[in-house]
Amino acid sequence: MSIGHTLLGLLESGPRHGYDLKRAFDEKFGHDRPLAYGQVYATMSRLLKNGLVEVDAVEVGGGPERKRYAITEAGITDVSQWLAQPEKPEPYLQSTLYTKVVLALLTGRSAAELLDTQRAEHLRLMRELTRRKQGGDLADQLICDHALFHLEADLRWLELTAARLDQLAKEIAR
């Protein structure tokens, strides 16, 4: 996820302080990985330097100065271009799971046991995500669906690989 573009998008509704941006980010996108304050301010500093935001106001109070940021026309254009670009699909051609299966076979360990352990972990996470989805709002449901679909694909791969272990062992032994 592009933190900079996400913060720019949040600024399109109006100027905000760094604290407000962090809170909005965490509410909308940071369910599992809240944004650190340092990351917000480092990102805003970079966006400011690149002319994508400007300081709309500076408030002086009992603590440090509070800058309120506003998106610039260049920032709006940048967000529009980012939103229009499709994300590159991740083909997972260098899978850690595949590497572990091959190494297990090469070293005489049980690849079937490795696949069973991984299957159990996938199923555990799928149950957890399903519970979360059932109790969540629409945004949480969509996020959980995305993760569940990927886990289902992984499970299909685990089953296919388990069915082909003997053939794979012969091929890598050559």
Least Cα distance to 154 among 107, 110, 122 occurs for: 122
Q: What's residue 94's pLDDT?
A: 64
- Give the global pTM: 0.72
The string of DSSP codes covering 17-82 is EHHHHHHHHHHHT-SSSPPPHHHHHHHHHHHHHTTSEEEEEEE--SSS-EEEEEE-HHHHHHHHHH
| Burial of residue 56 (number of CB atoms within 10 Å: 0-12, 13-18, 19+) | middle
C-alpha span between 156 and 100 (Å, rounded): 17
Mean pLDDT of each 10-residue bin along the chain, 174 residues long: 91 94 90 89 96 92 84 96 86 80 92 95 96 92 94 95 95 86
Q: What is the pLDDT of residue 93?
A: 63
